[in-house]
Amino acid sequence: MFDKVTKRFGTTVAVNEISGSIASGAFFGICGPNGAGKTTLLNMSTGLLRPDSGSVVVAGSSVWDDPIAAKARIGVVPDDPSMFPRLTGRELLEFHGLLRRLAPEMIAERSEELLEVLGLADAADIMVSDYSLGMTKKLAIAAALLHDPAVLFLDEPFAGIDPVSRQVLEVLLQRYVDGSGTVVFSDHAMDVVQRLCDQILIVDHGQVLAAGAVSDITGGRRLQEVFVEMVGGGDAGKDGLTWLGSSSG
């Protein structure tokens, strides 16, 4: 739950008193153009960035008043996951599991299952430095899921992912939600957001433009169309650039 969360960087208000709640077991999407405040909001929700004012409660614990309890219940995957490149995929999961104080037997069992489901079993003993971007993102999601968090935060999880890997991730995340987990993620792919999400939050310049059930916001239209209208990008490219293509003949 966000309660009047605000963050400024100098004179720029990145997030301006955003409030909202997310039901347990929801697939919740945060949408907005570049610079809208999505990542800032996610970072304040996961304890990576302290808000100037307001509060965030995750799985019953205040992120800033009781950070240890809150962080024990969440998994986080940033848009550019930082890994230990000299560890293998399996070693990295073991490291994360030990940080979460999981039993070694549980770490090994869950790691093997996640590596298999995510198509990383054959690369489990390869160093992370040799992973592709898509493999790295899948490994980061595996690490975030290893301790079975109540809420999973993902910042643009499908960026740079091939269609096959995207389908695998979508199925995995849906299984997680079906098992009562909560997913909160930001993405620019409106078709993915509309297909996966129960509820969405559309933000621009740190302000909430719309919030609620996807069906209520779209009214039967494509989310892409509604989103572009809200953020004022529908007329981009109609004026100017008259020279573009003039030399093609």
pLDDT beyond 60 at 236: no
Q: How do beta strands 12-20 and 2-9 pair? A: antiparallel
Q: Right CATH number for 2-231 from 2.30.30.230, 3.40.50.300, 3.20.20.140, 3.90.1150.10?
A: 3.40.50.300
What pLDDT is recorded for position 235? 60
pLDDT beyond 80 at 248: no
Q: Which residues of 102-111 are buried (b: 16+ CB within 10 A; e: fewer)?
A: beeeebeebb
pLDDT beyond 60 at 9: yes
Within 8 A by CB and 6+ apart from 109, the residues are: none
> Per-residue pLDDT tens for 122-133?
999 999 999 988
> Per-residue pLDDT tens for 64-86?
889 999 999 999 998 888 889 99
Q: Identify the DSSP state of 69.
A: H
Reported confidence tier of residue 233, pLDDT bands at 50, 70, 90: low
Average pLDDT over residues 200-212: 93
The gap between the terminal CA atoms of the chain, to the nearest Å, is 57
Per-chain mean pLDDT for the chain: 90
What pTM, to 2 d.p., does this model score? Answer: 0.88
Within 8 A by CB and 6+ apart from 47, the residues are: 63, 64, 67, 70, 71
Could you tell me how far CA 103 lies from the centroid of its own chain?
Answer: 27
What pLDDT is recorded for position 237? 57
pLDDT beyond 60 at 33: yes
Could you tell me how far CA 219 lies from the centroid of its own chain?
Answer: 25
Q: Which of 221, 232, 213, 172 is nearest to 29 (CA)?
A: 213
Is residue 108 classed as helix, strand or coil in its secondary structure? helix
Angle CA 97–166–98, to nearest 5: 5
According to DSSP H, which parts of the chain are helical?
38-45, 67-72, 89-99, 104-117, 133-145, 163-178, 190-196, 214-218, 223-231
What pLDDT is recorded for position 238? 64
> Per-residue pLDDT tens for 109-155?
999 999 999 999 999 999 999 998 889 989 999 999 999 999 999 99
What pLDDT is recorded for position 178? 92
How many CA atoms lie less than 13 Å away from 178 in the CB half-sphere?
Answer: 7
Sheet containing strand 53-58, strands side by side = 12-20, 2-9, 53-58, 61-62
